[in-house]
Structure 1
């Protein structure tokens, strides 16, 4: 027999599994530190590539000026400035990435808790249906299995 509450609950579960759950459920196997660390490694490489591209664009933009003053340039100071800029850029962006992935992880965990709660609720509905409408079905379950 169809139970209206059970159908509604199953519909909510299926909707989650097909939309957000497709990406979020596989992430349930990660600890917070693993999830954030893995994404920070990817962010490190992306930030490094982005900074290298920005430096290359600035060098290309100022190429005339650099060629005119090639003999009088202080390459050590330029390298030092580029390196300091990279470290500042990296630290700021890694901090932003850390906070963004932390918020995303907390949000995913919240969705997974709700999903697991609904699964438990559905399981209780099935147990209640199978073993009767008593106090959770434990006594009936024990009699049923010969305990």
Structure 2
């Protein structure tokens, strides 16, 4: 006979494995600090590439104006401004990354706790059934 409550719990566990299991796997493997640090490192690389791609697009867009002013341009001031813009961009980008992935870790951790609670519930059901079957067999012997 099929235990409907156990079947329902197993379906919930299977849905988690299929849908959220891969996304929540890092929440099992890493501590919060390590997970967020890894994401910050990735974001630093991606943010740097994105900033310089946007800078390249801006240079291409403003090529006529830049060529006209190239002899009058103060390169130290331009480099300082560019460095300041890069710093501001990265601070905002990394702060957003920190907040987002900290929230994702917290949310994923809650889901993993529910997953493990479901596994414990299923295990307890199996143990209870085994005990009942064990006691039932002893009565008939």
Alignment TM-score > 0.5, same fold: yes
- What's the secondary structure of 1:132's corresponding residue? helix
Q: 1:16, CA displacement in angstroms?
A: 1.0
Structure with the bigger percentage of helix:
2
Q: 1:26, CA displacement in angstroms?
A: 5.0
TM-score, normalised to structure 2, is 0.90
Backbone CA RMSD of aligned residues: 1.5
| 1:25-81 Cα shifts (integer Å, max 9, x gaps) | 354111001111111100001110111011111111111111112111101000000
| Residue equivalent to 1:53 | 53
* Structure 2 gap segments, 5+ residues each: 136-141
- Map residues 63-142 of structure 1 onto 2, 5 A cutoff: 63-132=63-132
* Structure 1 gap segments, 5+ residues each: 134-139, 141-147
TM-score, normalised to structure 1, is 0.86
> Number of matched residues?
134
- Greater than 6 Å deviation, 4+ residue runs: none
